[in-house]
């Protein structure tokens, strides 16, 4: 095979950055968080593949797609325009929409870890300086840091939203592997089968105005509140 043919898949501008920032090796600490899912397993509410698939579908549509992805899309658009004030407003609104302490802290901790590396890669960008100013108060959500950074890397909103949602779903499924337990082959089949749902929620998120975003996940919020008092925990959240 010719050398130029071997690298053809990397011809899209920013594709290497997308694979780097959305990959599981990028240091965000997301592997330490279950975002309330561990409580479901502890209470035997999710015990097998079928129950986990139902949970993952609900989480994908309500949290990743319904709440977080529209914010990622909005942040991407404001980063393109260089509108740091709107980036700040989006970040503060997303923080306010997280109803439980654990969910807020998990988002801020992963955002801070992500930003620690991203800021060093784009030190002169005004948008990155804006995020650094927000780091301590109220903190930078992972969705905000992700959207700004990948936009600076040259990716458009559709690609950034897709990467964010798919990476979040993949992290959740890895929680299933550890907690249910779920076999690695079953996990990959599940992730593969859910690609159409990922595509649907990403398309919807790109068209959703932030005024229409509703964060209504009472069962997950209760699970998040209960999580910090579990007798034993594998995850931080």
Show the domain range for 132: 57-227
> Looking at the 3D structure of the chain, how many domains does it have?
1
d(CA 153, CA 148): 9
Q: Residue 12 has what pLDDT?
A: 61
Q: Is the pLDDT of residue 65 over 70?
A: yes
CATH number where 93 lies: 1.10.4190.10
* Burial class (CB within 10 angstroms; exposed 0-12, middle 13-18, buried 19+) of 216: exposed
The pLDDT tens digits of the residues spanning 141-178 come to 999 999 999 999 999 999 999 999 999 999 999 999 99
Q: Could you tell me if residue 15 is inside a domain?
A: no
Question: Which residue stretches of 43-183 are H helix?
Answer: 49-59, 69-81, 84-97, 101-121, 126-134, 142-152, 157-179
The pLDDT tens digits of the residues spanning 96-132 come to 999 899 899 999 999 999 999 999 999 999 999 999 9
Q: Could you tell me if residue 26 is inside a domain?
A: no
pLDDT tier, 4 (very low <50, low <70, confident <90, very high otherwise):
very low
Q: Is the pLDDT of residue 6 over 70?
A: no
Question: What is the pTM (predicted TM-score) of this model?
Answer: 0.91
d(CA 186, CA 195): 15
- Least Cα distance to 21 among 127, 131, 132, 149 occurs for 149
pLDDT tier, 11 (very low <50, low <70, confident <90, very high otherwise):
low
């Amino acid at each position: 095979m010719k050398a130029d043919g071997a690298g053809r898949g990397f011809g899209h501008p920013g594709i290497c950055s997308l694979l780097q920032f959305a990959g599981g090796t990028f240091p965000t600490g997301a592997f330490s968080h279950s975002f309330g899912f561990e409580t479901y397993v502890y209470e035997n509410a999710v015990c097998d593949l079928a129950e986990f698939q139902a949970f993952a579908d609900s989480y994908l549509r309500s949290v990743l797609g319904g709440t977080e992805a529209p914010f990622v899309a909005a942040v991407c658009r404001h980063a393109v325009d260089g509108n740091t004030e709107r980036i700040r407003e989006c970040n503060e609104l997303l923080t306010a929409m997280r109803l439980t302490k654990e969910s807020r802290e998990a988002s801020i901790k992963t955002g801070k870890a992500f930003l620690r590396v991203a800021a060093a890669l784009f030190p002169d960008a005004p948008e990155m300086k804006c995020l650094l100013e927000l780091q301590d108060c109220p903190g930078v959500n992972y969705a905000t840091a992700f959207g700004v950074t990948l936009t600076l890397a040259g990716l458009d909103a559709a690609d950034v939203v897709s990467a964010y949602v798919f990476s979040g779903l993949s992290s959740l499924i890895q929680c299933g592997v550890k907690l249910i337990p779920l076999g690695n082959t079953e996990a990959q089949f599940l992730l593969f089968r859910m690609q159409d749902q990922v595509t649907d929620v990403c398309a919807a998120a790109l068209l959703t105005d932030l005024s229409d975003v509703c964060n209504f996940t009472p069962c997950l919020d209760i699970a998040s509140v209960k999580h910090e008092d579990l007798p034993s925990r594998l995850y931080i959240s």
